Structure 1
Amino acid sequence: MASITIQATDGSGGFTAYVVEPKAKPAGAVVVIQEIFGVNQAMRDTCAWVADLGFIAVCPDLFWRIQPAIDITDKSDAEWNQAFELFQKFDQAKGIDDLKASVAASRGLPGANGKVATIGYCLGGRLAFMMAQQSDADANISYYGVGLDELVPDLPKVTKPLLVHVADKDEFFPAEGRAAVIKAIEGHKHAVGHVYPGANHAFARVNGVHWDGRSATIANGRSAEALVAALG
Protein backbone atom coordinates (compact mmCIF):
# COMPACT_ATOMS: atom_id res chain seq x y z
CA MET A 1 0.00 0.00 0.00
CA ALA A 2 1.28 3.42 -0.91
CA SER A 3 0.28 6.69 -2.48
CA ILE A 4 1.49 8.61 -5.48
CA THR A 5 1.05 12.20 -6.63
CA ILE A 6 -0.43 12.85 -10.07
CA GLN A 7 -0.14 16.23 -11.75
CA ALA A 8 -3.36 17.81 -12.99
CA THR A 9 -3.31 18.63 -16.69
CA ASP A 10 -4.65 22.16 -16.14
CA GLY A 11 -1.60 23.21 -14.13
CA SER A 12 -3.56 23.62 -10.91
CA GLY A 13 -1.36 21.29 -8.91
CA GLY A 14 -1.14 17.64 -7.97
CA PHE A 15 -3.49 15.19 -6.31
CA THR A 16 -2.85 11.96 -4.46
CA ALA A 17 -3.87 8.46 -5.43
CA TYR A 18 -4.00 5.43 -3.17
CA VAL A 19 -2.10 2.48 -4.68
CA VAL A 20 -2.12 -1.24 -3.93
CA GLU A 21 0.27 -3.48 -5.84
CA PRO A 22 -0.21 -7.14 -6.80
CA LYS A 23 2.18 -9.91 -5.85
CA ALA A 24 3.43 -10.43 -9.39
CA LYS A 25 4.54 -8.03 -12.12
CA PRO A 26 4.47 -6.90 -14.85
CA ALA A 27 0.77 -6.22 -14.46
CA GLY A 28 -2.02 -4.17 -15.92
CA ALA A 29 -3.35 -1.25 -13.88
CA VAL A 30 -6.89 -0.41 -12.82
CA VAL A 31 -7.95 3.12 -11.95
CA VAL A 32 -10.57 2.68 -9.21
CA ILE A 33 -13.03 5.58 -9.31
CA GLN A 34 -14.45 6.67 -5.96
CA GLU A 35 -18.01 7.08 -4.80
CA ILE A 36 -19.33 10.30 -3.24
CA PHE A 37 -17.74 9.26 0.08
CA GLY A 38 -14.17 9.88 -1.05
CA VAL A 39 -11.27 7.45 -0.96
CA ASN A 40 -12.65 5.66 2.08
CA GLN A 41 -12.31 2.17 3.52
CA ALA A 42 -14.71 0.72 0.94
CA MET A 43 -12.51 2.05 -1.86
CA ARG A 44 -9.35 0.83 -0.15
CA ASP A 45 -10.91 -2.63 0.22
CA THR A 46 -11.88 -2.53 -3.45
CA CYS A 47 -8.28 -1.70 -4.34
CA ALA A 48 -7.13 -4.68 -2.29
CA TRP A 49 -9.51 -6.90 -4.29
CA VAL A 50 -8.21 -5.50 -7.58
CA ALA A 51 -4.63 -6.17 -6.49
CA ASP A 52 -5.60 -9.69 -5.45
CA LEU A 53 -6.79 -10.23 -9.03
CA GLY A 54 -3.24 -9.44 -10.15
CA PHE A 55 -3.52 -5.77 -11.13
CA ILE A 56 -2.07 -2.51 -9.84
CA ALA A 57 -4.93 -0.60 -8.19
CA VAL A 58 -4.82 3.20 -8.34
CA CYS A 59 -7.57 5.21 -6.62
CA PRO A 60 -7.24 8.97 -7.18
CA ASP A 61 -8.66 11.56 -4.78
CA LEU A 62 -11.13 13.25 -7.12
CA PHE A 63 -12.50 15.64 -4.49
CA TRP A 64 -9.10 17.27 -3.99
CA ARG A 65 -10.22 20.48 -5.68
CA ILE A 66 -13.00 20.83 -3.08
CA GLN A 67 -11.36 19.26 -0.02
CA PRO A 68 -8.49 16.76 -0.07
CA ALA A 69 -8.59 13.40 1.70
CA ILE A 70 -12.34 13.01 2.14
CA ASP A 71 -12.92 9.70 3.95
CA ILE A 72 -16.50 9.15 5.14
CA THR A 73 -19.01 6.28 5.19
CA ASP A 74 -22.66 5.61 4.37
CA LYS A 75 -23.52 4.95 8.01
CA SER A 76 -24.94 8.29 9.21
CA ASP A 77 -27.22 11.07 7.98
CA ALA A 78 -24.48 13.64 8.58
CA GLU A 79 -22.08 11.74 6.31
CA TRP A 80 -24.74 11.33 3.63
CA ASN A 81 -25.44 15.07 3.75
CA GLN A 82 -21.74 15.82 3.43
CA ALA A 83 -21.42 13.37 0.55
CA PHE A 84 -24.31 14.92 -1.38
CA GLU A 85 -22.88 18.38 -0.79
CA LEU A 86 -19.56 17.24 -2.22
CA PHE A 87 -21.35 15.71 -5.19
CA GLN A 88 -23.13 18.98 -5.93
CA LYS A 89 -19.84 20.89 -5.84
CA PHE A 90 -17.93 18.35 -7.92
CA ASP A 91 -16.98 19.40 -11.46
CA GLN A 92 -17.38 16.25 -13.55
CA ALA A 93 -15.45 17.64 -16.52
CA LYS A 94 -12.47 18.37 -14.24
CA GLY A 95 -12.93 14.91 -12.75
CA ILE A 96 -12.63 13.35 -16.20
CA ASP A 97 -9.47 15.37 -16.82
CA ASP A 98 -8.02 14.07 -13.55
CA LEU A 99 -8.99 10.51 -14.45
CA LYS A 100 -7.31 10.83 -17.84
CA ALA A 101 -4.19 12.01 -16.02
CA SER A 102 -4.53 9.03 -13.67
CA VAL A 103 -4.77 6.61 -16.59
CA ALA A 104 -1.68 8.14 -18.21
CA ALA A 105 0.27 7.98 -14.94
CA SER A 106 -0.82 4.39 -14.33
CA ARG A 107 0.50 3.28 -17.72
CA GLY A 108 4.00 4.28 -16.66
CA LEU A 109 4.08 2.99 -13.08
CA PRO A 110 7.00 0.71 -12.15
CA GLY A 111 5.98 -2.83 -13.02
CA ALA A 112 3.01 -1.76 -15.15
CA ASN A 113 2.52 -3.42 -18.53
CA GLY A 114 1.09 -0.26 -20.10
CA LYS A 115 -2.54 -1.40 -20.16
CA VAL A 116 -5.08 0.42 -17.96
CA ALA A 117 -8.78 -0.01 -17.23
CA THR A 118 -11.15 1.98 -15.06
CA ILE A 119 -13.72 0.65 -12.61
CA GLY A 120 -16.12 3.02 -10.90
CA TYR A 121 -18.94 2.96 -8.38
CA CYS A 122 -21.92 5.31 -7.92
CA LEU A 123 -20.49 8.69 -9.01
CA GLY A 124 -17.51 6.67 -10.18
CA GLY A 125 -19.83 4.46 -12.19
CA ARG A 126 -21.02 7.48 -14.13
CA LEU A 127 -17.45 8.67 -14.61
CA ALA A 128 -16.33 5.24 -15.82
CA PHE A 129 -19.10 5.36 -18.44
CA MET A 130 -17.88 8.82 -19.46
CA MET A 131 -14.29 7.56 -19.62
CA ALA A 132 -15.43 4.90 -22.08
CA GLN A 133 -16.64 7.74 -24.31
CA GLN A 134 -13.85 10.24 -23.75
CA SER A 135 -10.58 8.45 -22.90
CA ASP A 136 -8.12 5.91 -24.24
CA ALA A 137 -8.53 3.50 -21.31
CA ASP A 138 -8.35 -0.12 -22.47
CA ALA A 139 -11.61 -1.05 -20.74
CA ASN A 140 -14.15 0.61 -18.44
CA ILE A 141 -16.49 -0.91 -15.86
CA SER A 142 -19.46 0.98 -14.41
CA TYR A 143 -21.27 -0.07 -11.23
CA TYR A 144 -24.69 1.53 -10.66
CA GLY A 145 -23.78 4.81 -12.31
CA VAL A 146 -26.36 7.58 -11.91
CA GLY A 147 -27.98 9.41 -14.80
CA LEU A 148 -26.39 7.21 -17.44
CA ASP A 149 -29.36 7.76 -19.76
CA GLU A 150 -28.05 11.32 -20.27
CA LEU A 151 -24.90 9.81 -21.76
CA VAL A 152 -26.60 7.46 -24.24
CA PRO A 153 -26.26 9.83 -27.24
CA ASP A 154 -22.47 9.49 -27.02
CA LEU A 155 -22.46 5.67 -26.96
CA PRO A 156 -21.13 5.55 -30.56
CA LYS A 157 -17.88 7.03 -29.18
CA VAL A 158 -17.25 3.85 -27.18
CA THR A 159 -14.59 1.82 -28.99
CA LYS A 160 -13.15 -0.24 -26.10
CA PRO A 161 -14.90 -2.75 -23.82
CA LEU A 162 -17.51 -1.18 -21.53
CA LEU A 163 -19.21 -3.29 -18.86
CA VAL A 164 -22.26 -1.75 -17.17
CA HIS A 165 -23.74 -3.14 -13.93
CA VAL A 166 -27.26 -1.84 -13.22
CA ALA A 167 -29.19 -2.30 -9.97
CA ASP A 168 -32.80 -3.33 -10.61
CA LYS A 169 -34.07 -1.37 -7.58
CA ASP A 170 -31.66 1.58 -7.72
CA GLU A 171 -33.23 4.31 -5.59
CA PHE A 172 -31.07 7.00 -7.21
CA PHE A 173 -31.68 6.06 -10.86
CA PRO A 174 -35.33 5.90 -12.06
CA ALA A 175 -36.51 2.75 -13.83
CA GLU A 176 -37.13 4.60 -17.10
CA GLY A 177 -33.54 5.77 -17.24
CA ARG A 178 -32.16 2.34 -16.42
CA ALA A 179 -34.28 0.75 -19.13
CA ALA A 180 -33.13 3.34 -21.68
CA VAL A 181 -29.48 2.55 -20.95
CA ILE A 182 -29.93 -1.21 -21.22
CA LYS A 183 -31.86 -0.83 -24.48
CA ALA A 184 -29.21 1.47 -25.94
CA ILE A 185 -26.44 -0.98 -25.05
CA GLU A 186 -28.17 -3.96 -26.69
CA GLY A 187 -26.34 -4.84 -29.86
CA HIS A 188 -23.48 -2.44 -29.20
CA LYS A 189 -20.21 -3.87 -30.46
CA HIS A 190 -18.20 -2.96 -27.38
CA ALA A 191 -20.69 -2.45 -24.52
CA VAL A 192 -22.42 -5.05 -22.37
CA GLY A 193 -25.03 -4.37 -19.69
CA HIS A 194 -26.30 -6.55 -16.85
CA VAL A 195 -29.25 -5.94 -14.54
CA TYR A 196 -29.20 -7.37 -11.00
CA PRO A 197 -32.73 -8.35 -9.85
CA GLY A 198 -33.79 -7.00 -6.47
CA ALA A 199 -30.49 -5.20 -5.93
CA ASN A 200 -30.42 -1.62 -4.66
CA HIS A 201 -27.91 1.10 -5.47
CA ALA A 202 -24.44 0.30 -4.12
CA PHE A 203 -25.07 -3.45 -3.91
CA ALA A 204 -21.31 -4.04 -4.26
CA ARG A 205 -20.10 -1.44 -1.74
CA VAL A 206 -17.92 -3.39 0.66
CA ASN A 207 -19.61 -3.37 4.12
CA GLY A 208 -22.17 -0.89 2.78
CA VAL A 209 -25.76 -0.61 3.96
CA HIS A 210 -27.07 -1.96 0.61
CA TRP A 211 -24.56 -4.78 0.20
CA ASP A 212 -26.05 -7.73 -1.71
CA GLY A 213 -23.68 -10.68 -1.60
CA ARG A 214 -25.19 -12.59 -4.51
CA SER A 215 -25.36 -9.63 -6.89
CA ALA A 216 -21.92 -8.37 -5.86
CA THR A 217 -20.30 -11.77 -6.36
CA ILE A 218 -21.84 -12.23 -9.82
CA ALA A 219 -20.97 -8.67 -10.89
CA ASN A 220 -17.45 -8.89 -9.52
CA GLY A 221 -16.89 -12.16 -11.36
CA ARG A 222 -17.93 -10.54 -14.62
CA SER A 223 -15.68 -7.58 -13.86
CA ALA A 224 -12.72 -9.86 -13.12
CA GLU A 225 -13.18 -11.63 -16.46
CA ALA A 226 -13.39 -8.31 -18.30
CA LEU A 227 -10.23 -7.02 -16.63
CA VAL A 228 -8.28 -10.16 -17.41
CA ALA A 229 -9.39 -10.03 -21.04
CA ALA A 230 -8.44 -6.37 -21.41
CA LEU A 231 -5.27 -6.19 -19.34
CA GLY A 232 -3.77 -9.67 -19.51
Structure 2
Amino acid sequence: MTDLSIQSDDGSFSAYLATPASGSGPGVVVIQEIFGVNANVRAICDKLAADGYFAIAPDLFWRQEPGIQITDQTEAEWKKAFELYQGFNEVKGVEDLATTLAHLRKYPGVTGKVGCVGFCLGGKLAYLMATRTDVDASVSYYGVGIDKDIAEVPAITKPLLMHIAGKDGFVPQEAQTVIKEAVAGNFLVEVHVYPERDHAFTRIGGQHYHEEDASLAHTRTAEFFKKHLA
Protein backbone atom coordinates (compact mmCIF):
# COMPACT_ATOMS: atom_id res chain seq x y z
CA MET A 1 0.00 0.00 0.00
CA THR A 2 1.58 3.22 -1.12
CA ASP A 3 1.06 6.74 -2.39
CA LEU A 4 2.46 7.50 -5.81
CA SER A 5 2.52 10.38 -8.27
CA ILE A 6 0.86 10.40 -11.70
CA GLN A 7 1.83 12.84 -14.43
CA SER A 8 -0.89 14.53 -16.49
CA ASP A 9 -0.80 17.20 -19.19
CA ASP A 10 -1.61 19.80 -16.50
CA GLY A 11 0.78 18.65 -13.81
CA SER A 12 1.12 15.77 -11.36
CA PHE A 13 -1.30 14.42 -8.79
CA SER A 14 -1.10 11.80 -6.07
CA ALA A 15 -2.90 8.48 -5.90
CA TYR A 16 -3.22 5.75 -3.29
CA LEU A 17 -2.37 2.28 -4.59
CA ALA A 18 -3.16 -1.01 -2.89
CA THR A 19 -1.65 -4.15 -4.39
CA PRO A 20 -2.68 -7.82 -4.14
CA ALA A 21 -0.49 -10.22 -2.19
CA SER A 22 -0.02 -12.34 -5.30
CA GLY A 23 1.68 -9.48 -7.11
CA SER A 24 -0.50 -9.87 -10.17
CA GLY A 25 -4.13 -9.40 -11.14
CA PRO A 26 -6.65 -7.08 -12.79
CA GLY A 27 -7.01 -3.44 -11.81
CA VAL A 28 -9.70 -1.14 -10.44
CA VAL A 29 -9.71 2.65 -10.34
CA VAL A 30 -11.52 3.73 -7.15
CA ILE A 31 -13.22 7.10 -7.51
CA GLN A 32 -13.61 9.26 -4.41
CA GLU A 33 -16.64 10.93 -2.89
CA ILE A 34 -16.55 14.65 -2.07
CA PHE A 35 -14.32 13.97 0.96
CA GLY A 36 -11.13 13.24 -0.96
CA VAL A 37 -8.95 10.14 -0.81
CA ASN A 38 -9.72 9.62 2.86
CA ALA A 39 -9.53 6.60 5.15
CA ASN A 40 -12.78 5.21 3.79
CA VAL A 41 -11.57 5.32 0.17
CA ARG A 42 -8.25 3.78 1.16
CA ALA A 43 -10.08 0.99 3.00
CA ILE A 44 -12.07 0.26 -0.18
CA CYS A 45 -8.79 -0.01 -2.10
CA ASP A 46 -7.34 -2.31 0.56
CA LYS A 47 -10.39 -4.57 0.40
CA LEU A 48 -10.15 -4.80 -3.39
CA ALA A 49 -6.44 -5.65 -3.07
CA ALA A 50 -7.33 -8.41 -0.60
CA ASP A 51 -9.69 -9.73 -3.27
CA GLY A 52 -6.89 -9.87 -5.83
CA TYR A 53 -7.05 -6.49 -7.58
CA PHE A 54 -4.63 -3.61 -7.98
CA ALA A 55 -6.76 -0.73 -6.65
CA ILE A 56 -5.82 2.90 -7.19
CA ALA A 57 -7.59 6.05 -5.95
CA PRO A 58 -6.42 9.32 -7.54
CA ASP A 59 -6.70 12.70 -5.82
CA LEU A 60 -9.31 14.47 -7.96
CA PHE A 61 -9.27 17.70 -5.97
CA TRP A 62 -5.58 18.37 -6.57
CA ARG A 63 -6.21 21.41 -8.77
CA GLN A 64 -8.07 23.07 -5.89
CA GLU A 65 -6.25 21.69 -2.85
CA PRO A 66 -4.03 18.62 -2.98
CA GLY A 67 -4.25 15.94 -0.33
CA ILE A 68 -7.82 16.39 0.88
CA GLN A 69 -8.74 13.72 3.45
CA ILE A 70 -11.82 14.73 5.43
CA THR A 71 -14.81 12.89 6.86
CA ASP A 72 -18.60 13.31 6.98
CA GLN A 73 -18.62 13.71 10.75
CA THR A 74 -18.65 17.48 11.27
CA GLU A 75 -20.50 20.47 9.84
CA ALA A 76 -17.19 22.16 8.99
CA GLU A 77 -16.06 19.14 6.97
CA TRP A 78 -19.37 19.01 5.08
CA LYS A 79 -19.01 22.71 4.26
CA LYS A 80 -15.47 22.12 2.99
CA ALA A 81 -16.60 19.10 0.96
CA PHE A 82 -19.39 21.01 -0.76
CA GLU A 83 -17.05 23.91 -1.54
CA LEU A 84 -14.68 21.48 -3.24
CA TYR A 85 -17.56 19.84 -5.07
CA GLN A 86 -18.82 23.19 -6.35
CA GLY A 87 -15.35 24.09 -7.59
CA PHE A 88 -14.70 20.72 -9.22
CA ASN A 89 -14.12 20.62 -12.97
CA GLU A 90 -15.90 17.45 -14.10
CA VAL A 91 -14.29 17.35 -17.54
CA LYS A 92 -10.80 17.61 -16.04
CA GLY A 93 -11.76 15.02 -13.45
CA VAL A 94 -12.62 12.48 -16.12
CA GLU A 95 -9.36 13.32 -17.89
CA ASP A 96 -7.46 12.61 -14.65
CA LEU A 97 -9.30 9.32 -14.28
CA ALA A 98 -8.46 8.35 -17.86
CA THR A 99 -4.81 9.19 -17.12
CA THR A 100 -4.99 7.05 -13.96
CA LEU A 101 -6.57 4.23 -15.95
CA ALA A 102 -3.74 4.30 -18.49
CA HIS A 103 -1.16 4.42 -15.69
CA LEU A 104 -2.67 1.40 -13.97
CA ARG A 105 -2.84 -0.63 -17.19
CA LYS A 106 0.96 -0.31 -17.48
CA TYR A 107 1.73 -0.87 -13.79
CA PRO A 108 3.94 -3.93 -13.15
CA GLY A 109 1.83 -6.95 -12.24
CA VAL A 110 -1.45 -5.66 -13.66
CA THR A 111 -2.74 -8.35 -15.96
CA GLY A 112 -5.87 -8.40 -18.03
CA LYS A 113 -8.55 -5.78 -17.65
CA VAL A 114 -9.04 -2.64 -15.57
CA GLY A 115 -12.40 -1.41 -14.25
CA CYS A 116 -13.57 1.44 -12.06
CA VAL A 117 -15.90 1.98 -9.13
CA GLY A 118 -17.15 5.28 -7.73
CA PHE A 119 -19.36 6.62 -4.97
CA CYS A 120 -21.50 9.81 -4.89
CA LEU A 121 -19.46 12.27 -7.01
CA GLY A 122 -17.44 9.21 -7.97
CA GLY A 123 -20.64 7.42 -8.94
CA LYS A 124 -21.32 10.10 -11.54
CA LEU A 125 -17.73 9.94 -12.73
CA ALA A 126 -17.87 6.14 -13.00
CA TYR A 127 -20.82 6.59 -15.35
CA LEU A 128 -18.83 9.11 -17.40
CA MET A 129 -15.89 6.72 -17.48
CA ALA A 130 -18.24 4.20 -19.09
CA THR A 131 -19.33 6.74 -21.72
CA ARG A 132 -16.04 8.55 -22.39
CA THR A 133 -13.16 6.10 -21.88
CA ASP A 134 -12.09 2.55 -22.72
CA VAL A 135 -12.49 1.29 -19.13
CA ASP A 136 -13.41 -2.40 -19.18
CA ALA A 137 -16.22 -2.33 -16.59
CA SER A 138 -17.70 0.39 -14.38
CA VAL A 139 -19.65 0.41 -11.11
CA SER A 140 -21.61 3.48 -9.99
CA TYR A 141 -22.87 3.81 -6.43
CA TYR A 142 -25.61 6.45 -6.00
CA GLY A 143 -24.12 8.80 -8.59
CA VAL A 144 -25.31 12.41 -8.32
CA GLY A 145 -26.20 14.25 -11.52
CA ILE A 146 -26.12 11.34 -13.95
CA ASP A 147 -29.49 12.45 -15.36
CA LYS A 148 -27.86 15.67 -16.61
CA ASP A 149 -25.61 13.64 -18.94
CA ILE A 150 -28.04 10.85 -19.73
CA ALA A 151 -27.74 11.58 -23.45
CA GLU A 152 -24.35 9.83 -23.31
CA VAL A 153 -25.91 6.40 -22.68
CA PRO A 154 -25.51 5.33 -26.36
CA ALA A 155 -21.74 5.77 -25.97
CA ILE A 156 -21.53 2.93 -23.42
CA THR A 157 -19.61 0.04 -25.00
CA LYS A 158 -18.52 -1.88 -21.88
CA PRO A 159 -20.50 -3.25 -18.89
CA LEU A 160 -21.88 -0.78 -16.34
CA LEU A 161 -23.41 -1.67 -12.96
CA MET A 162 -25.50 0.99 -11.21
CA HIS A 163 -26.58 1.00 -7.56
CA ILE A 164 -29.42 3.46 -6.93
CA ALA A 165 -30.77 4.46 -3.51
CA GLY A 166 -34.56 4.64 -3.83
CA LYS A 167 -34.88 7.46 -1.29
CA ASP A 168 -31.70 9.31 -2.25
CA GLY A 169 -31.89 12.88 -0.98
CA PHE A 170 -29.50 14.04 -3.70
CA VAL A 171 -31.09 12.11 -6.58
CA PRO A 172 -34.85 12.74 -6.67
CA GLN A 173 -37.35 10.26 -8.04
CA GLU A 174 -37.65 12.21 -11.29
CA ALA A 175 -33.92 11.88 -11.92
CA GLN A 176 -33.99 8.18 -11.04
CA THR A 177 -36.80 7.63 -13.55
CA VAL A 178 -34.83 9.42 -16.27
CA ILE A 179 -31.83 7.17 -15.61
CA LYS A 180 -33.78 3.91 -15.49
CA GLU A 181 -35.75 4.68 -18.63
CA ALA A 182 -32.63 5.70 -20.56
CA VAL A 183 -30.77 2.46 -19.84
CA ALA A 184 -33.76 0.13 -20.07
CA GLY A 185 -33.12 -2.56 -22.65
CA ASN A 186 -29.37 -1.85 -22.83
CA PHE A 187 -27.81 -5.25 -22.23
CA LEU A 188 -24.55 -3.63 -21.11
CA VAL A 189 -26.17 -1.84 -18.17
CA GLU A 190 -27.30 -3.57 -14.97
CA VAL A 191 -29.33 -1.52 -12.48
CA HIS A 192 -30.18 -2.36 -8.89
CA VAL A 193 -32.48 -0.12 -6.84
CA TYR A 194 -32.50 -0.28 -3.03
CA PRO A 195 -36.02 1.12 -2.38
CA GLU A 196 -35.71 2.12 1.28
CA ARG A 197 -32.16 3.42 1.23
CA ASP A 198 -30.91 6.99 1.25
CA HIS A 199 -27.72 8.41 -0.25
CA ALA A 200 -24.39 6.80 0.75
CA PHE A 201 -25.99 3.74 2.31
CA THR A 202 -22.69 1.85 1.94
CA ARG A 203 -20.50 4.46 3.67
CA ILE A 204 -19.45 2.88 6.94
CA GLY A 205 -20.02 5.33 9.78
CA GLY A 206 -22.30 7.49 7.66
CA GLN A 207 -25.76 8.62 8.73
CA HIS A 208 -27.53 6.41 6.19
CA TYR A 209 -25.31 3.33 6.38
CA HIS A 210 -27.32 0.11 6.11
CA GLU A 211 -25.27 -3.01 6.71
CA GLU A 212 -27.55 -5.51 4.95
CA ASP A 213 -28.03 -3.55 1.73
CA ALA A 214 -24.41 -2.39 1.73
CA SER A 215 -23.35 -6.03 1.88
CA LEU A 216 -25.78 -6.92 -0.91
CA ALA A 217 -24.49 -4.11 -3.13
CA HIS A 218 -20.86 -5.02 -2.50
CA THR A 219 -21.57 -8.69 -3.24
CA ARG A 220 -23.13 -7.71 -6.56
CA THR A 221 -20.10 -5.53 -7.33
CA ALA A 222 -17.69 -8.36 -6.50
CA GLU A 223 -19.56 -10.74 -8.78
CA PHE A 224 -19.67 -8.10 -11.54
CA PHE A 225 -15.93 -7.50 -11.40
CA LYS A 226 -15.18 -11.22 -11.23
CA LYS A 227 -17.26 -11.73 -14.38
CA HIS A 228 -15.94 -8.82 -16.40
CA LEU A 229 -12.35 -8.28 -15.22
CA ALA A 230 -11.03 -11.77 -14.49
- TM-score bracket for this pair, using the shorter chain length: over 0.9
What is the match of residue 67 of structure 1? Answer: 65
Q: Note the alpha carbon deviations across 1:34-88, whole angstroms, 9 max, x for none.
A: 0000001110111111112210110000000000000100011111010000000
How many angstroms does 1:114 deviate by? 4.1
Shift of 1:223: 0.5
Which amino acid is the alignment partner of residue 100 of structure 1?
Answer: A
Structure 1 position 209, deviation (Å): 2.1
Letter in 2 for 1:161: P
CA contact (8 A) 1:16 1:60 kept: yes
1:163 aligns with 2:142: no
Number of residue pairs the alignment of both structures matches: 230
Greater shift after overlay, 65-74 or 20-29? 20-29
Partners of 1:49 and 1:206 in 2: CA distance: 13
Of residues 113, 117, 120, the one that matches 1:119 is 117
- 1:2-38: per-residue Cα shift (whole Å, max 9, x none)? 0121111x2x211111011112242001000000000
TM-score of the two chains, using structure 1 as the length reference: 0.97
Give unmatched runs, 5+ long, in structure 1: none
Matched letter for residue 4 of structure 1 = L
1: CA distance, partners of 2:4 / 2:26: 17
> How many angstroms apart in 1 are the aligned matches of 2:89 and 2:168?
23
1:119 Cα deviation from its structure 2 partner: 0.2
Matches of 2:16 and 2:84 in 1, distance apart? 20
> Match of 1:208, as an amino acid?
G
Q: Offset at 1:229?
A: 1.3
What residue number does 2:22 align with? 24
1:46–1:206 Cα contact (<8 Å) kept: no
Confirm whether residue 200 of structure 1 aligns to residue 198 of structure 2: yes
The aligned residue for residue 5 of structure 1 is: 5
Task: Indicate if the aligned counterparts of 1:28 and 1:113 stay in contact, CA closer than 8 A.
Answer: yes
Structure 2 unaligned residues grouped into runs of 5+: none
Range with greater deviation from structure 2 (175-184 or 73-82): 175-184
Deviations 1:78-113 (A, max 9, x none): 110100000000000000000000000000111100
- Aligned ranges for residues 150-189 of structure 1 at < 5 Å? 150-189=148-187
Aligned 8 A contact 1:45 1:206 in 2:
no
Matches of 2:196 and 2:37, distance apart in 1: 27
Report the identity percentage.
46
1:42-61 equivalences in 2 (<5 Å) = 42-61=40-59
CA distance in 2, matches of 1:71, 1:55: 23
Taking the TM superposition and a 5 Å limit, the aligned residue runs for 1:124-135 are 124-135=122-133
Letter in 2 for 1:150: K
Specify the alignment match of 1:103 in structure 2.
101
Q: 4+ residue stretches of structure 1 with deviation over 6 A?
A: none
TM-score normalized by the length of structure 2: 0.98
What is the distance in 1 between the residues matched to 2:113 and 2:23?
13
Q: Secondary structure at the match of 1:189?
A: coil
Distance 2:62 2:53 in 1: 25
